[in-house]
Amino acid sequence: MKRIVYREWRIPPGRYWGILGILAVVIGLGGLSALYLEHQGHWVTGMNNFVVWGVPHVFAVFLIIAASGAVNVASIATVFGKGAYQPLGRLSGLLAVALLIGGLLVLVLDLGRPDRLLVALTHYNLRSIFAWNIYLYTGFIALVIAYLWSMADRMGAPFKKLIGLFAFGWRIALTTATGSIFGFLVARQAFDTAFLAPMFIIMSLAYGLAIFVLVLLFSFHEECRPVGDKLLMRLKRLLGLFVAAMLYFTLVYFLTKAYGAKTHGLVDWVLFDGGRYSALFWIGWVLIGALVPLGIIHHPVLGQDRNWIVAACILVVLGGLATLYVLVIGSQAYPLQMFPGHIILESGFFDGVKSETATYRPTIPEFLLGLGGVAVALIITAVGVRVLQFLPESLADAALPADAVYLPTASDRE
C-alpha cells in the first residue's frame, strides 16, 4: 500500500470555469425564482392550502437526506474500518456539507417569510421536530467540517475515529429527524408512522452513495485520474444493497398501510387510482429508482461497464426524486379522513369532496428553485475540490489501503 496523496482538481481553466459558469446560471435562475416567489407570494406556485409543500420541498428533502447519505462513505472507513474507503473520506465530507447547504437554501427560500430567518434562529419550540432539525442541520455541518479537519490535518488525526463515530451517530439522528418531520404527523394517513424514520435512513444511504459515485467518477474522469475496478465494484455492490433495502422498506411500508382498513383507500389510490402519482410510483419509485438499477448492477456484463454503472446511479437519483414526489406531495393530495364512514358531498373548501384528491400543478419557478439548490451543492463541491486537496491522486486498486479487519468479501474472490 502506498501513501495516499491528495491533490487539487486541476482540470483546464476553460473547462473549470465553463462548469462553474453553467452552475452559476442555474443558481441565478433559482435565485430569481426565489425573489419572484417572495415578491409575488406563493400564488405563482402550484402550491395551495391543501398541497402546502411542493416541488421545492421534494428537492430540499432529497438534498438533505442525500447529504447524510454522502457522509456515510467516510463513516465506512472510519467507523467500520474499511480501508479501501479511506481515500474517499474527504470528498464524502465535502459533498455532505455541500448537499445539505443546497437543500437548506431551497427550504429557506420557499418560506412564506424568508426575511424572518432570524426569527427561526432565535425562537424555538422544542416540541417541534422541525426546530430540532435546525439544530441537527447546523450541528451536522459543524461536525462534518471538524471531521474533514481530522481527516486532513495531522493534528486532527488522533480525533478522527472519535469524530467519525460521533458524525455517524449524528447523521443517523439527522435522518431520523427528517423522516420524523413526516412520521410525526398523526393527522395524515400516509404519514403517522415511525417507519418513515428508518425508511428515510435507507433512502439517504442509496441517494447519497449514488450522488457520491457520480461526482467521484465525473471528477476523476475529467482529470484522467484512475479509479480501480475493484473499488468501483465494491461501491456498486453497496449501492445495490442499499437500493434493494429501500425496495424492501417500500414493500413493508405499503403492507403496513394495506393491513389497516383505515388506510386501504390510500394504498389503492397510490398504487392504482392515483393517476400521475401511481405512474410516478411504479415507473419512478419502483422501476427507475430500484428495479432497473438493480438489474444493471447485478448484470454480468452491464454491471462491469462504467457507463452503465453511471446510468444506474443517475436512475437512482431520478427515482429518488420521484419517490419523494409521491411521498411528500401525493400524501398531501390524498384527502384527510375527517369523517370516517361518511362521504363528503359538498364543501366550501377542499375536503376531498366525493373522495376527490387535491390538485397540484407545479410551476416552472418551483423547479428552478429546486434545481438552484442542486447547483449550489455542486458549485460548492467543484470549488472545494479545485482549491483544496479533497481528491486522492489515484484510486487504482493497488494504491488503496487494506481494510482494518480483514474480512473475506465477495469482491475479494474476483
Partner 1 sequence: MKQQHPEETIDQGRRAWFGLAAGVTAAVAAPGVVLHLADAAPAVGTEGVPVTAAARWGLLIDTNKCLEGCRDCVDACARENGLDRQTKPAAQSSAAWADQRAVWLRKAKLADNLTGRVTNLPLMCQHCEHPPCVDVCPTGASFKRADGIVVVDRHVCIGCRYCMMACPYQARSFIHEAVHDQLTGVPRGKGCVESCNLCVSRRDHGLASTACVDACTAAGHGAIVFGDMKDPASPISLALKAMSSRQLREDLALNTGVRYAGL
Q: How far is the CB of 1 from partner 1 (least distance, A)?
A: 48
Q: Which is nearer to partner 1, 40 or 138 (CB)?
A: 40
* 75 neighbors 111 (Cβ within 8 angstroms): no
Strand partners, 390: none
CA distances from 34 to 39, 56, 364, 366, 400 (A): 8, 10, 11, 9, 44
> Is the CB of residue 359 less than 8 Å from the CB of residue 313?
no
359 counts as binding partner 1 under rule CB under 8 A: yes
CA 327 – CA 319 distance, rounded (Å): 12
Distance CA(377)–CA(219), nearest Å, equals 15
Question: Are residues 145 and 166 in contact, defined by beta-carbon separation less than 8 angstroms?
Answer: no
Residue 414 engages partner 1 in binding (rule: CB under 8 A): no
Nearer to partner 1, 46 or 228 (CB): 46
Least distance to partner 1, CB of residue 42, Å = 4
Asked if 413 touches partner 1 (CB under 8 A), the answer is no
Residue type, 379: I
Closest distance between partner 1 and the C-beta of residue 68, in Å? 19
Q: According to the binding rule CB under 8 A, does residue 265 interact with partner 1?
A: no
Choice between 49 and 307, CB closer to partner 1: 49
Torsions phi, psi for 292 (to 5 deg): -65, -50
Tell whether residue 155 is a contact of partner 1 (CB under 8 A). Answer: no
Residues facing residue 7 across a β-bridge: 391
| Residue 162 found at the interface with partner 1 (CB under 8 A) | no
**Which residue is it, cell 479501501?**
84
Q: In this complex, which beta carbon is closest to partner 1, that of residue 15 or of residue 361?
A: 361
Candidate residues 6, 16, 80, 130; the one interacting with partner 1 per rule CB under 8 A: 130
Shortest separation between residue 71's beta carbon and partner 1, angstroms: 24
Residue 6 pairs in a beta bridge with 392
CB of 320 to partner 1, least distance (A): 21
Helix (H, G, I), strand (E, B) or coil at 349: coil
> Taking CB under 8 A as the rule, does residue 134 contact partner 1?
yes
Q: Is 139 in the site for partner 1 (CB under 8 A)?
A: no
What is the pairing mode between strands 6-7 and 391-392? antiparallel
Residues 58 to 117 in contact with partner 1, rule: CB under 8 A: 111-114, 116-117
Q: Give the residue, chosen from 16, 149, 184, 253, that forms a contact with partner 1 under the rule CB under 8 A.
A: 184
The 10 Å Cβ neighbour count of residue 307 is 9
Closest approach of Cβ 349 to partner 1, in Å?
A: 4
| Three-state secondary structure string covering 40-80 | HCHHHCCCCCCCCCCHHHHHHHHHHHHHHHHCHHHHHHHCC
Q: Which residues from 304-343 bind partner 1, rule CB under 8 A?
A: 332, 336, 338-339, 341-343
By CB under 8 A, tell whether 36 contacts partner 1: no
Based on the shown chain and the rule CB under 8 A, indicate whether residue 261 belongs to the binding site for partner 1.
no
Residues that bind partner 1 (CB under 8 A): 38, 40-43, 46-50, 52-53, 111-114, 116-117, 119-120, 123-125, 127-131, 133-134, 181, 184-188, 332, 336, 338-339, 341-351, 358-359, 361
